[in-house]
Structure 1
Amino acid sequence: MFKMFVTLFRGGVAEAGEAIADRNALLILDQQLRDATAAFDRAKKALAVAIAQDQQETVRLDATKARIAGLELRVGAALDAGDELLAHEGAEAIAALEADRDAAATAQALFAAEILRLRRHVAQAQTRIAELDRGRRLARASEAVRDMRRGRVEGARPHEATLAEAEQTLRRLRERQTQAEAADLALEELDGAATASITEKLAARGYGPRLKPTAEDVLARLRSKPAKTA
């Protein structure tokens, strides 16, 4: 029984840990990407140091080869002159330099192979980090859209407005604006009607020009026209 309770407790802890990881997946991914980027930067710096050291070894190896070539000329000249003792001393120096040259060449070959391997590793890591960063940005955008739509799916938080509520507010605002515009138009029409009414009264009393022709105006215009001949 005790073992069963322990197993149940461990299962609950594991499930709670998975739930926490799911809820904070983006935060975890951000930190993991930062850690991977930091490791990548360290690897790049180490590779740069290795390349610089390899270049220095190449310079030293070339200098050794040049010294060997110079000593060989001098030892040859000593042999031609019959100076066996000095020629032997020069040959010993050449042998030591050649041993150093061969060891340096072997080390440089191994170093170059390791640098090539590190270059491939850094290039692969850079590609993977770029893919992770793109995926992280897409995941964050998807999460933002899901949060925006959450009001239609899961129910919004008490302090958050949903998209549907914003649309409803916009509809109410437009209705109020339409009503206000209609009221302003009706008021303008009423004001215009009142102005027209007083204008008509003044014109009927003969104050100012008439607003519309009367029968007397038509008869006067017809009488003023010259008579047509048959």
Structure 2
Amino acid sequence: MLDVFRILARGAAARAGEDLFDRNALLILDQQIRETQAALERSRRALAAAIAGDRAEARRIDALEARAQDLAARAVAALRAGREDLAGEAAEAIAELEAERDAVRAARARFAAEVARIRSVVADATRRQAELERGRRIAAATEAARRLGARTAPCATASLREAEATLARLRALHAEAADTEAALDEATPGLDIAERLEREGFGPSTRPSGGAVLDRLRREAGLAQPHAA
């Protein structure tokens, strides 16, 4: 019986873990993508450093060969002048330079194969990372659509329907207001033209002006109207 309980406990824990993962799958995916992005960036930097080092080794080979050629030319000149001793020392130095050059070349050959392998790995990881990010965008859109239309979330669906009903009501109110305004315009067809004529100075003013009010106040005060200059 205890074994059965232990099995049930493990099964319940596994089910709970799966449910937790399912509920937070998009969040987990986001974190995993961030971690793979960081790892890919480190790989790219390491590859760039390796390539830079290889180019430095190539320049080192060129420098060794240039030194060897210079010593060879000088050694030939020493032989022609009968200085076997100096030519012998130059030959020893040339041999050391050539040995170092050959060692660097061999190391570069091995290194080139490793750089090619790393470059292939980084290229593959870059492609897979791009696919992950595209898949994440699709998954996010799918999850949003699923939550919007999920039967297990009636509140969200009801809110959407209510918003649509509110929009329809607003549109009806706007249409009614527009119809009312149009009807008023039709009921007073000469209003706009009358206002325009008044503004242009044709006909008596239908609105009191500051000057007219001042004249009325003077009359009430028993003051004479000022003479125009």
> How many residues matched?
185
Identity %: 51
Separation in 2 of the partners of 1:22 and 1:71?
73
Secondary structure of 1:12's counterpart equals helix
Q: Does 1:49 align with 2:49?
A: yes
Cα pair 1:149 1:162 within 8 Å, conserved? no
Secondary structure of 2:153's counterpart equals coil
The corresponding residue for 2:163 is 166
Separation in 1 of the partners of 2:169 and 2:93?
99
The corresponding residue for 1:17 is 17
Q: Does 1:156 align with 2:160?
A: no
- Sort the Cα spacing of 1:96 and 1:176 in 2 relative to 1 into closer, same or farther, 3 A: closer
Secondary structure of 1:162's counterpart equals helix
- Sort the Cα spacing of 1:66 and 1:178 in 2 relative to 1 into closer, same or farther, 3 A: closer
* CA offset digits 1:3-56 (Å, max 9, x no partner): 222222111111111111111010000000000000011111111111111111
Separation in 1 of the partners of 2:164 and 2:67?
85
Task: Give the alignment's TM-score, normalised by structure 1.
Answer: 0.70
Secondary structure of 2:154's counterpart equals coil
Separation in 2 of the partners of 1:91 and 1:177?
101
The residue type equivalent to 2:141 in the other structure is A
State the shift of 1:115 in Å: 1.8
The residue type equivalent to 1:144 in the other structure is A
Q: Does 1:99 align with 2:84?
A: no
State the shift of 1:96 in Å: 0.9
> Unpaired runs of 5+ in structure 2?
188-229
Separation in 2 of the partners of 1:15 and 1:67?
72
The corresponding residue for 1:139 is 139
* CA offset digits 1:43-102 (Å, max 9, x no partner): 111111111111111111100011111111222222233322222111111111111001
The residue type equivalent to 1:166 in the other structure is A
The residue type equivalent to 1:70 in the other structure is D
Cα pair 2:147 2:153 within 8 Å, conserved? no
* CA offset digits 1:176-209 (Å, max 9, x no partner): 7788899x69x98xx9xxxxxxxxxxxxxxxxxx
After TM superposition, the structure 1 = structure 2 runs for residues 1-230 of structure 1, keeping only pairs within 5 Å, are 1-150=1-150, 153-157=151-155, 161-171=158-168
Separation in 1 of the partners of 2:114 and 2:107?
11
Cα pair 2:148 2:157 within 8 Å, conserved? no
Cα pair 1:78 1:84 within 8 Å, conserved? yes
Task: Give the alignment's TM-score, normalised by structure 2.
Answer: 0.71
- Sort the Cα spacing of 1:88 and 1:166 in 2 relative to 1 into closer, same or farther, 3 A: same
Separation in 2 of the partners of 1:179 and 1:40?
61
The residue type equivalent to 1:164 in the other structure is R
